[in-house]
Amino acid sequence: MENGRENNITRAAELGQAVWLDQISRDMIDGGEIQELVDTGLRGITTNPTIFDGAIAGSDVYDDRLAKYGRDGSSPEAVFERIAVEDVRDAADILLPVYKALDYRDGFVSIEVNPHLAHDTDRTIAEARRLWSAVDRPNVMIKVPGTPEGAPAITTLISEGINVNVTLLFSLDAYKTAANAYLDGVSRYVDAGNGSPAKIASVASFFVSRVDTLADESLPEGSDLIGKIGIANAKLAYREYQRMFARDLNDNTRFFSLNTIGAQPQRPLWASTSVKNPEYAPTLYFDSLLGTETVNTLPLPTVEDVLKTGTIAETLTKDVDVAEAQMAQLADEGVSYDDVTAQLLVEGVEKFADSWDSLMARIDAKISALASVS
């Protein structure tokens, strides 16, 4: 890592894009790797059940805690929540100086509600409140899926001053719904007489490589759209962001008046940005989506690739007309954008739920195995 001097992560930050790590584990926290990444310029961390499942499966670093927290017969869900809350809290403490130095605009760690609640508004709200209270750090975001049922949960949580990372966004309509849910929440917060909303933060996690994976499978062999729809989709989402969060009075956006009293924009976060196709350059979704007031969340191998070979240039606002034409061509080639993005949302919720179930089974098995040898 390039600590203490300019590198591709700090250069991206100068252009307005924060790099977050899409990975966490106890050994990375205790061994100083998270701190080293922060020193290199990292500005945030995201987590999800898949990440925790991999961390717990990949080492014995959690065994002592699993044995301790499972000793009283606590459920795997309760044991996991204690472990996840501790990891997120400690990572948030490492990032707290970043949060303060950047005036509450960055330095966040995300923790996800149970993905089985993706279609249950009330229980999502209840779990998000509990996690927010349990972690008890100002620079934490609660991840809420961008399902139709998630939107009112986002508004409620933001109205209570709870930071939200809206996840599993694939379509432009879903992105706009998430942005409006955030704006509704900030408006309610202000209307309730809570004062300045300056410390309320949110990101909208718009997935990229998964769009390419499914679109590529659906396109005719040899199509010149292969490997391009994910980036085109993100560029059009960013254009919507620029429209909805404009600060020019002449644009007459809802955000303008809120921003005058301190409200932050809800930054687009590019998620699923490690390449799935080995024929693509490893930094494809970094190089192609670099722009101001955005976040790119990357697993550690992609962070290392970016440091070595990433290209630093503003690309998000380039060739947007080409992106529009590519979307039109997608329909001409017989692929329904609405069908692709709808399928991705269903699959995304299912994948996180499957990872959750795998994680619970793994924790239960480990607790039993540890108890048998104690």
- Whether 208 and 285 have beta carbons less than 8 Å apart is answered as yes
- Residue 33 structural domain: 8-373
Tell me, yes or no, whether 258 lies in a domain.
yes
One digit per residue, the tens of pLDDT, for the chain of length 374 reads 555 589 999 999 999 999 999 999 999 999 999 999 999 999 999 998 888 888 888 778 999 999 999 999 999 999 999 999 999 999 999 999 999 999 999 999 999 999 999 999 999 999 999 999 999 999 999 999 999 999 999 999 999 999 999 999 999 999 999 999 999 999 999 999 999 999 999 999 999 999 999 999 999 999 999 999 999 999 999 999 999 998 876 666 789 999 999 999 999 999 999 998 888 999 999 999 999 999 999 999 999 999 999 999 999 999 999 999 999 999 999 999 999 999 999 999 999 999 999 999 999 999 999 888 76
Tell me, yes or no, whether 182 lies in a domain.
yes
Considering the candidates 68, 100, 143, 199, report the single residue annotated as catalytic.
143
Q: Assign 341 to helix, strand or coil.
A: helix
pLDDT of residue 1: 52
Tell me, yes or no, whether 2 lies in a domain.
no
* Opening angle at CA 55, ends 349 and 2, nearest 5: 105
pLDDT of residue 311: 96
Q: Assign 188 to helix, strand or coil.
A: helix
Tell me, yes or no, whether 336 lies in a domain.
yes
Tell me, yes or no, whether 174 lies in a domain.
yes
Dihedral of alpha carbons 97, 100, 101, 107, sign:
positive
* Partners of residue 268 on adjacent β-strands: 204
CA 12 to chain centre: 18
User: Which CATH number fits the domain that encloses residue 129?
Assistant: 3.20.20.70
Q: Is 143 a catalytic residue?
A: yes
Tell me, yes or no, whether 22 lies in a domain.
yes
Tell me, yes or no, whether 334 lies in a domain.
yes
- Alpha carbon of 247 to those of 105, 253, 318: distances in Å? 17, 8, 21
Q: How many domains does the chain have?
A: 1
Stated pTM of the model: 0.96
Amino acid at 333: E
pLDDT of residue 253: 77
Tell me, yes or no, whether 3 lies in a domain.
no
